[in-house]
Chain A
Amino acid sequence: MTLWVLALGLPLAVALLLMVATLVSGPRAGALRDTVCRAAWLATLPAATLTLTGGDEVVRLDWLLLGVSAHLDEVARPLLALTVVLYAVALAFVPRSGARRGPVLSGFLLVCFAASVGVVAAADVVTFYLAFTVMSFTGYALVLHDRTAGARRAARIYMVMTVLGESAVLAAMALVTADGGLVLADAPAAVAASERRDLIVALLLVGFGVKAGTAPLHVWLPLAHSAAPTPASAVLSGVMVKAGLVGWLRFLPLGQDASPGWGTTFVLLALLGGFLAVVAGLLQDNPKVILAYSTISQMGFLAVLVGVALAEPGLAHACVLAAVVYAVHHGVTKASLFLGVQVWSSERVPRWTTTTVLAVAGLSLAGAPFTSGYVAKYGAKEAVGDATFPAAGGAALADVLPWFGLGSTLLLARCAVVLWRRERKGEHSAPVRDGVWAASAVVAVVPVAWLAQRLDPPQAVPGWLSPGTLWAQSWPVLLGVALALAAARLARRRELDDSPLAHPRGDVVPPGDVVAVEERAALAVGRALRRAAARLGSVTGRVRTALAATPSPLPALSAVQARLGLWEASGAVLLFLAAAGLLLALTGGSSP
């Protein structure tokens, strides 16, 4: 219990300290700010201890809000570990990220950290919604942090999408609770048994789909990731988008009765987003935008697992665990890549070191042998078993999943090209921190493999040297590299010098792809609402004018008002009313 309070309280307390220190001016406050900011990552230590030593019982605090509760089950603990590690590294990266107002950024990251812990560890609906909401709205501050024109636009779009998602989530939470799913352990069964099951699943898909970057709700992701300071992008992609996944795993009726229709819908959207994101991403020229598209694609991979779990109750448990393992793998790898952009661009680290670390992280994301991706992708492929798309019978999903690896390879190759051309400044270095970054990228395979081992069965662990598995995991990467090389050769041709497809600059498909369309739609809705409101005003105004034409006591009243001062008038009327009251009481009292 104490550990829980510390794990959540310390980050919040430090965040508060940072915010207060920001409001106060003066050199001492400034020095305090910078010191606290540098040491802010230490605030994640209680949560780290909790991850390692916390029991799996449900912890309750009844006086807090409407009663909050948390637990560390097989879904929560690995994701909590991921959260702690990524936030700690990201916080360590803040002081020299080049972001202005580092202490403020650290403060918001710490609030976000506490909320992320809450999202994965919540044991009831209210706690989950509390944490999810705080995380979402703090995310706005992270995206906005740099205050550039791009950041403002990204933050605005993030906010609109978040508010829409929040409303869907709130509706779903209320319906789940009303149908008896207040405790998360009961929620899937409650949803399965509910009369409003389809409505709830639809709300969950939309609400959490915004966070998880499900097409066509993904539009905020590429904008937000490129606008946010790099440490914030890292946790955004590594942890925060996973909150959508956690929501699905906690509330969808997985492992209850089969819903092939919804399963197919999830898989369809997942595949659409997963593959179109590759196309859109290849046409960008900002490394962080490309990585964001890669995240959309990878979240599509995870959504496939969720869809299968929905459609085939027998596979649900395996799919849930595979999704957790995959989320941990993707979180660590993607955060390393994002932070790598900062290391590459502005830190004095030998070029070959950075290149090696980034290459390992990239290969891992694509699922090459001996990386964390190898373990996670194999587990996922085994978990979907012989599930098909559509669920009623069609293509075997296990044959579709490897193509995600090809997409990842292509995106990362594109990212490498863009990064290679980028100007480097190499201003400063922080050896310990960069060492941790390199280590977390290179040895990510160890904890992921260990986790998979622990969850086996039903989680499947690949043989490290089985030729069949090695080939199955290698060909997408090899094919991707080959295609990338061919494309690079092709792009060198003189006659393609002006082709926007051969040398994309993010103008064929703008970052956020369909965002412009959705933005226009949103603006139109806003205008329509305003017009409706204005018309409502004028209609009531007209009615009022019409009514005013009829005899009214107002002129008489104003005459009275004019004749008597404010004070005397109201005193007189008060007396009069008291008398009227007496009279009334008299009649009331004398009747039987």
Chain B
Amino acid sequence: MNPDAQVHESVLPVVMLLTSLVPGLVIFFLREDQVRLRTTLNMAGAVAKVALVAVLVPLVVAGQVQRAAFPWLPGVELVLTADTFSLFFAALSSLLWLVTTVYAIGYLEGAPHRSRFFGFFSLCVTATVGIALAGNLLTFLFFYEMLTLVTYPLVAHRGTRAALDGARTYLAYTLGGGVLVLLGVVWLTVLVGPVEFTAGGAAAVAELAAERPGTATAIGLVLLAGLGVKAAIFPLHRWLPVAMVAPAPVSALLHAVAVVKAGVYGIVRVVHDVFGLRVFADLGLLHVLAVAAGVTIVYGSLRALTQDDLKKRLAYSTVSQLSYVTLGAALLSPVATAGALTHIFHQGIMKITLFFCAGLFAEVLGLSKVSQLAGVARRMPLTAIAFTVAAFGMIGLPPLAGFVSKWPLALGGLDAGEPWVLAVLLTSTLLNAAYFLPVIHTLWVRPPEEGARWVTEPHRVRSIEAPASLLVPALITAALTLACGVFAGWDYSPWQIARIIAEGSYP
């Protein structure tokens, strides 16, 4: 989104896609018992992707944009660009993919259909990175629809009645949303030709908005409604709590990077890089979006209050927290934009930690309800610490990651002349505290129930509390939650990068 960037033709963006696409396709054809090969492929792809991102970040921050274009059809190109924003999202996806892969390998040890699972798992990340690197609307659409489909088998993986029901709801919602996005993209493309993402908005779209504001508004609305499904904006959020029937690593990925983030990422791209913030504001759509996000924030938090199922509570929390990003993207203030972009990253690492921990409690002790967690910290202190750190982060307490994104959002709301944003954020903070603190209290303070079979003396855990492949990812992301807050001032921290990206939206 940096307007003065130098553009280099490069194969690196394609290679980034291939690092997960190739392992994914190969894994489909592996036998169930080829565990070592499958694990090697998975890990090699994930590590390679992280390494590529690490190589690209300094280049892109220095102002180089890597671009790869393929003529698809006359006049239509598939474009992959690695600019600051796309790399930001790609970095999040590849980082969390790596830890989730480790977690998933441990989680599914010995379970059936692992080749199918890991194949789609890799495709899911390919689609997410494709969305991140998409340089124009059509490429974005292509990967966006692909993501919808490759995630479906993951949600339905267990094949139980509940899993199939959840997956069907997921598919109905996201396909419906996908159709809307398709409609919006086609409509816009027919009117102004292929739209490349441009910092501050595409010129052709601005022209269209000036000449035919009615049409432009309609297109904007259709796109927002479509993207709003994956971004879980009320009342299109329903699929998200239902989809938590998926296995823990899928939920983790789903709630942190893959599907929901594709929605909010798309919203940011459409608002900032297709229409441009000012054009969007002039059409009156910015306000609509901000209000919808505000309502969703409060609604999600309220619903989370009453959920006893831990994963469901986390799911409603995702509904609420995602709209922080949407809200920030819908405010005409550079600080708010930076806060929103930062929250894409920070919400990802915090929420994935929480889902990892929920999976740990379920896997190790067989507990899935908040009310069953009494005293579990005595048995699983490290997991409880990871959960506590992430939950405090979600509430937005300093020095954790959540504060670094919530604070600029609040300031940005005031800066944009929308003081109600502060009220919404405070309400959400209070409600966040109201549904997270009881969980923490239950974990650490309440004595275990009589006869709970896992009870041991405090401090007398003989070996490590859980399989390392499940515990270590949770500890890593919890440490990241702390690090992203504490080192927010470092040059390559998500917050600093987000500020650079945000500047581009205000030419």
Would A574 and B149 be within 8 Å (CB), given that A22-B459, A63-B490, A557-B172 are in contact?
yes
In the complex, which residues 415-467 of chain B have their Cβ closer than 8 Å to any Cβ of chain A? 415, 422, 426, 429-431, 433-434, 437, 441, 445, 459-461
A401 at the B interface (CB under 8 A): no
Residues of A within 8 A of B305 (CB): 529-530, 533
B63 at the A interface (CB under 8 A): no
B171 at the A interface (CB under 8 A): yes
Q: Contact: B488 with A536, CB < 8 Å?
A: no
Residues of B within 8 A of A557 (CB): 168, 171-172
Q: Contact: A63 with B489, CB < 8 Å?
A: yes
B23 at the A interface (CB under 8 A): no
Q: Contact: A129 with B186, CB < 8 Å?
A: no
In the complex, which residues 142-188 of chain A have their Cβ closer than 8 Å to any Cβ of chain B? 144, 147, 152, 155-156, 159, 163-164, 167, 170-171, 174-175, 177-178
Interface of B is mostly: helix
Residues of A within 8 A of B116 (CB): 566-567
Give the size of the chain B interface in residues (CB under 8 angstroms).
72
Residues of A within 8 A of B437 (CB): 159, 163
In the complex, which residues 11-59 of chain A have their Cβ closer than 8 Å to any Cβ of chain B? 22-23, 25
- In the bound complex, what is the Cα–Cα distance between A540 and B299 (angstroms)? 11
B376 at the A interface (CB under 8 A): no
Residue-wise, chain B 362-400 has the 8 Å CB interface mask toward A (1 for contact) of 000000000000000000011000000000100001110
A349 at the B interface (CB under 8 A): no
A446 at the B interface (CB under 8 A): no
Q: Contact: A167 with B429, CB < 8 Å?
A: yes
Residues of A within 8 A of B487 (CB): 63-64
Would A25 and B486 be within 8 Å (CB), given that A588-B190, A591-B189 are in contact?
no
Give the size of the chain A interface in residues (CB under 8 angstroms).
67
Residues of B within 8 A of A592 (CB): 193
B189 nearest in chain A by CB position: A588
With beta carbons under 8 angstroms apart, the residue of B382, B404, B426, B459 that contacts A171 is B426
Spot the interface stretch: A130-138, A281-289, A325-333, A335-343.
Answer: A130-138
Spot the interface stretch: B73-81, B85-93, B346-354.
Answer: B73-81
Q: Contact: B404 with A585, CB < 8 Å?
A: no
A590 at the B interface (CB under 8 A): yes
Residues of A within 8 A of B141 (CB): 581, 584
Would A532 and B302 be within 8 Å (CB), given that A62-B489, A540-B235, A587-B186 are in contact?
yes
Spot the interface stretch: B152-160, B209-217, B286-294.
Answer: B152-160
- In the bound complex, what is the Cα–Cα distance between A64 and B495 (angstroms)? 12
| Least CB distance, A201 to chain B, in whole angstroms | 16
Would A174 and B407 be within 8 Å (CB), given that A25-B459, A589-B75 are in contact?
yes
Residues of B within 8 A of A537 (CB): 303, 306
- In the bound complex, what is the Cα–Cα distance between A159 and B436 (angstroms)? 13
Residues of A within 8 A of B506 (CB): none
Q: Contact: A566 with B303, CB < 8 Å?
A: no
B461 nearest in chain A by CB position: A25
With beta carbons under 8 angstroms apart, the residue of B146, B153, B407 that contacts A566 is B153
A534 nearest in chain B by CB position: B306
With beta carbons under 8 angstroms apart, the residue of B138, B398, B426, B489 that contacts A588 is B138
With beta carbons under 8 angstroms apart, the residue of A543, A588, A590 that contacts B186 is A588
- In the bound complex, what is the Cα–Cα distance between A556 and B153 (angstroms)? 18
Q: Contact: B489 with A533, CB < 8 Å?
A: no
Q: Contact: A566 with B159, CB < 8 Å?
A: yes
With beta carbons under 8 angstroms apart, the residue of B145, B156, B168, B381 that contacts A554 is B168
- In the bound complex, what is the Cα–Cα distance between A585 and B156 (angstroms)? 31
| Least CB distance, A181 to chain B, in whole angstroms | 12
Interface of A is mostly: helix
Q: Contact: B76 with A134, CB < 8 Å?
A: no
| Least CB distance, A1 to chain B, in whole angstroms | 16
A429 at the B interface (CB under 8 A): no
With beta carbons under 8 angstroms apart, the residue of A66, A167, A532, A581 that contacts B426 is A167
| Least CB distance, B176 to chain A, in whole angstroms | 8
B169 nearest in chain A by CB position: A554
Residue-wise, chain A 60-79 has the 8 Å CB interface mask toward B (1 for contact) of 01111111000000000000
Residues of B within 8 A of A361 (CB): none
Residue-wise, chain B 459-492 has the 8 Å CB interface mask toward A (1 for contact) of 1110000000000000000000000011111100
Q: Contact: A570 with B189, CB < 8 Å?
A: no
Q: Contact: B414 with A65, CB < 8 Å?
A: no
Residues of B within 8 A of A589 (CB): 73-76, 194
A586 at the B interface (CB under 8 A): yes
Residues of B within 8 A of A561 (CB): 164, 167-168
B172 nearest in chain A by CB position: A554
Residue-wise, chain B 124-147 has the 8 Å CB interface mask toward A (1 for contact) of 000000000000001001100110
Q: Contact: A65 with B486, CB < 8 Å?
A: yes
Residues of B within 8 A of A570 (CB): 120, 149-150, 152-153
Q: Contact: B445 with A174, CB < 8 Å?
A: no
With beta carbons under 8 angstroms apart, the residue of B189, B430, B460, B495 that contacts A25 is B460
Q: Contact: B414 with A174, CB < 8 Å?
A: yes
A544 at the B interface (CB under 8 A): yes
- In the bound complex, what is the Cα–Cα distance between A530 and B487 (angstroms)? 37
With beta carbons under 8 angstroms apart, the residue of A25, A65, A167, A574 that contacts B150 is A574
Q: Contact: B149 with A590, CB < 8 Å?
A: no
Q: Contact: B73 with A585, CB < 8 Å?
A: yes
B151 nearest in chain A by CB position: A570
Residues of B within 8 A of A540 (CB): 235, 238
15 contacts between A and B (CB under 8 A): A22-B459, A61-B489, A64-B487, A65-B398, A163-B433, A171-B426, A178-B411, A557-B171, A558-B168, A566-B157, A570-B150, A581-B142, A584-B186, A586-B73, A587-B190
Instruction: Report, nearest first, the 10 A-B pairs whose CB atoms are least far apart.
Output: A589-B75, A178-B414, A588-B189, A589-B76, A63-B489, A130-B398, A174-B410, A585-B76, A533-B302, A533-B306
A residues with CB within 8 A of B: 22-23, 25, 61-67, 126, 129-130, 133-134, 137, 144, 147, 152, 155-156, 159, 163-164, 167, 170-171, 174-175, 177-178, 526, 529-530, 532-534, 536-537, 540, 543-544, 552-554, 557-558, 561, 566-567, 570, 573-574, 577-578, 580-582, 584-592
Other than A133-B397, A156-B441, A557-B171, give 18 A-B pairs with Cβ distance below 8 A.
A65-B486, A130-B403, A152-B445, A155-B445, A167-B429, A530-B306, A534-B306, A540-B235, A544-B238, A557-B172, A581-B142, A584-B185, A586-B73, A586-B76, A588-B138, A588-B190, A589-B75, A591-B189
